[in-house]
Chain A
Amino acid sequence: MSYRARRTITAYFMILPAFILTAIFVMYPIVDSFLISFYKWDMLSVSKPFVGITNYIYIFQDPLFLQALSNTVLYVVSFVPCVIALGLITALLLNQKIRFLTFFRSAMFIPYLTSLAATGIIWQWIFNDQFGLLNYFLGLFGVSAQNWLNDPQWTLFNMVVMGVWQNLGYVTVIFLAGLQGISREYYEAAAVDGAAWWHKFRMITFPLLSPTTYFVLILTTIDAFKVFLQVYVLYGESPGPNNSGMTLLYYMFDKGFNDYHMGYATASAYVLFMIIFIFTLAQMTLSRRVHYEG
């Protein structure tokens, strides 16, 4: 047996366990999910009639799904700019020569690590209309108490606040790493020219940071499309008042594990997947035009 053939066999043995598990629990489900979306099936019965694209037609005519779609998109377009702007500002502040850098950096990271179940419950308590911290705090500035969790007009706001809080540390850490990768020489040259702070940001920092910005943009957007758990926890296992917190993933969960409509559930999961896929593809095409260093 040749040397290469022997190495190939060894390599296959080393890959095998990882590959088998991935095949069963990742690759097969990707295909299976797609197939199930063309059947009417409650998961328990033997009867599983093929219904073609009926499930897709159904969900796109279901007002609840359309609401989930619009809520999710609204969440993405509100959350992503907020978290990126705030993360960038925080990273710029931390990138100065400051004391307690490690403390700040670590402290900011804690919400990202902790379970959404626990943090959701903390926020539920903060948003409490009678005894919550938020109403008290706003009261100090003369703002009247709001019924944060029972008034549908605040649902998006609550979701964004909690989402930004949870992800800020992560975004900041990535931006900070990107900032630290920018060579000092550019700033020294700019200082010689007497460039103002804003000028340096616009002409050096922002263009040279753009690969990082695109990476963060893609990552946070993909994540934002999958919003579910913060609603589920914040509103006590419900999609919020008047379904104002119904999202695509919540819809999938609801159809699958409350209604046992596997066809609708997998169809909506695939719609979510396609949205994310198209978005990522579009971003990647755009990012080819990003300014890279060197």
Chain B
Amino acid sequence: MRNLFIYIPLAIIALFVLGPFIWMLSTSVKPSGEVLSVIPHLIPSRWEFDNYAKAFASSPFLLYFWNSFFISFVETAVDLTIGAMAAYAFARIDFIGKRALFLVLLATIMVPGEVLLIPNYITITNLGWVNSYQGLIVPWLVSVFTIFLMRQYFLSLPQELFDAAEMDGCGPLRTLFRIVLPVSKPIWITAALIKFVGAWNSFLWVLVVANSPSLYTLPVGLINFSSNEGTVYNQLMAAATFTVIPLVILFAVGQRYFVEGIARAGIK
């Protein structure tokens, strides 16, 4: 009896949360005739996987996928590398001006990214990087949040680890990449996932910097497809599914790190 009061509300919440995705999947394989029916059916009478092929034929989604992947991958790899270096210095090296520099970096987290949009667009224009991969990628190569997350973790590592490395004659860079990073797997996976998802879903910046479809990422390509083929809902849902699925897979693989990382960042 008591369980019913827990499971029934949970089922309703789960339906609210997952319902739109189920509806998206269902619509994406419906024949055109069934999409616009007044009484909606969840299970199509015929599974029309052709919708995916048609969506791919009218818009270069594989190219968008590649752009999304390439941009997100480069941003994440660079962010983790130079973020880990900065985090190591802030956490484990005692140097002049450390506190002040760290506070300056930390203060920038408070500023909403949207304030940066116009000046950054102007910078990119002056560099001649509008409509280029550099323009899309370079402004996002570092995230202060990554530095902060890793620094907190490095601070918690035992001093003996660093003493041993120094005795072996390891410099800071070698200590970082050979000793510290291998034992910091949970935190760099968390940081990488957060950065990758953020880059994958980034919209406004891609919208203003990429002027030609050859540079569109999946989200922007999807909106572009939607304004061209707005009423073809089965193909539109097929395209939306294609945008959503890669991240769901990534999440399924790393969900433990993800949820715990977010929760940990939230509690501090």
Decide: A36 and B118 in contact? CB cutoff 8 A: yes
B1 at the interface (CB under 8 A from A): no
B59 at the interface (CB under 8 A from A): no
B203 at the interface (CB under 8 A from A): yes
Complex interface: chain B residues within 8 A of A24 (CB): 123
Question: B82 touches which one: A18, A27, A90, A93 (CB < 8 A)?
Answer: A18
Closest residue of chain B to A177 (Cβ to Cβ) is: B263
Choose among B14, B83, B240 the residue with the greatest number of A CB atoms under 10 Å from its CB: B240
Question: B267 touches which one: A94, A131, A181 (CB < 8 A)?
Answer: A181
Question: How many residues in B have their beta carbons less than 8 Å from beta carbons of A?
Answer: 94
Complex interface: chain A residues within 8 A of B82 (CB): 17-18, 21
CB distance from A124 to the nearest CB of B (A): 8
State in angstroms the CA–CA spacing of A178 and B268 once bound together. Answer: 10
Complex interface: chain B residues within 8 A of A130 (CB): 36, 38
B43 at the interface (CB under 8 A from A): no
Name the segment of A61-69, A151-159, A188-196, A261-269 touching the other chain.
Answer: A261-269
A231 at the interface (CB under 8 A from B): no
Decide: A21 and B141 in contact? CB cutoff 8 A: yes
Question: How many residues in A have their beta carbons less than 8 Å from beta carbons of B?
Answer: 94
Decide: B10 and A94 in contact? CB cutoff 8 A: yes
Complex interface: chain A residues within 8 A of B76 (CB): none
Decide: A26 and B88 in contact? CB cutoff 8 A: no
Decide: B243 and A11 in contact? CB cutoff 8 A: no
Complex interface: chain B residues within 8 A of A19 (CB): 86, 101, 105
State in angstroms the CA–CA spacing of A105 and B234 once bound together. Answer: 29
Once A14-B173, A43-B125 are accepted as A-B contacts, the answer to whether A173 and B120 lie under 8 Å apart by CB is no
State in angstroms the CA–CA spacing of A14 and B171 once bound together. Answer: 12
State in angstroms the CA–CA spacing of A12 and B197 once bound together. Answer: 30
Instruction: Name B's interface SS.
Output: helix
Once A18-B85, A173-B262 are accepted as A-B contacts, the answer to whether A11 and B115 lie under 8 Å apart by CB is no
Decide: B203 and A7 in contact? CB cutoff 8 A: no
A229-244 to B contact mask, C-beta < 8 Å, 1/0 = 1000100110000000
B247 at the interface (CB under 8 A from A): yes
Complex interface: chain B residues within 8 A of A286 (CB): none
Question: B86 touches which one: A15, A111, A266 (CB < 8 A)?
Answer: A15
B161 at the interface (CB under 8 A from A): no
> Which residues of chain B (192-227) have a CB below 8 Å from chain A?
197, 200-201, 203-204, 208, 218-220, 222-223, 226-227
Closest residue of chain A to B124 (Cβ to Cβ) is: A25
Decide: B172 and A4 in contact? CB cutoff 8 A: no
State in angstroms the CA–CA spacing of A30 and B120 once bound together. Answer: 10
Decide: A22 and B108 in contact? CB cutoff 8 A: yes
State in angstroms the CA–CA spacing of A113 and B140 once bound together. Answer: 19
B18 at the interface (CB under 8 A from A): yes
State in angstroms the CA–CA spacing of A7 and B162 once bound together. Answer: 14
Complex interface: chain A residues within 8 A of B93 (CB): 7, 10-11, 14
Complex interface: chain B residues within 8 A of A43 (CB): 122, 125
Complex interface: chain B residues within 8 A of A22 (CB): 105, 108, 142, 144
Instruction: Name A's interface SS.
Output: helix
State in angstroms the CA–CA spacing of A177 and B112 once bound together. Answer: 26
B interface with A by C-beta (< 8 Å): 6-7, 9-10, 13-14, 16-21, 23-24, 27, 35-40, 82-83, 85-86, 88-90, 93-98, 101, 104-105, 108, 110-112, 114-123, 125, 138-142, 144, 147, 171-173, 197, 200-201, 203-204, 208, 218-220, 222-223, 226-227, 230, 233, 236-237, 240, 243-244, 247-248, 251-252, 255, 258-259, 262-264, 266-267
Given contacts A15-B86, A109-B255, A229-B203, 10 further A-B contacts (CB under 8 A): A25-B120, A29-B118, A33-B118, A110-B248, A113-B247, A113-B251, A115-B218, A212-B266, A236-B230, A265-B118
A interface with B by C-beta (< 8 Å): 4-5, 7-8, 10-12, 14-15, 17-19, 21-22, 24-30, 32-33, 36, 43, 86, 89-90, 93-94, 96, 98, 102, 104-111, 113-119, 121-123, 125-126, 130-131, 133, 136, 165, 168-170, 173-174, 176-178, 181, 212, 215-216, 219, 222, 225-226, 228-229, 233, 236-237, 249, 252-253, 256-257, 262, 265-266, 269-270, 272-273, 276-277, 280
Question: Closest 6 CB pairs between A and B?
Answer: A177-B263, A29-B119, A117-B219, A174-B266, A11-B95, A18-B86
17 contacts between A and B (CB under 8 A): A7-B95, A11-B89, A25-B116, A29-B118, A43-B122, A89-B9, A93-B6, A93-B9, A94-B10, A113-B197, A114-B201, A118-B219, A119-B244, A169-B17, A173-B266, A256-B121, A272-B112
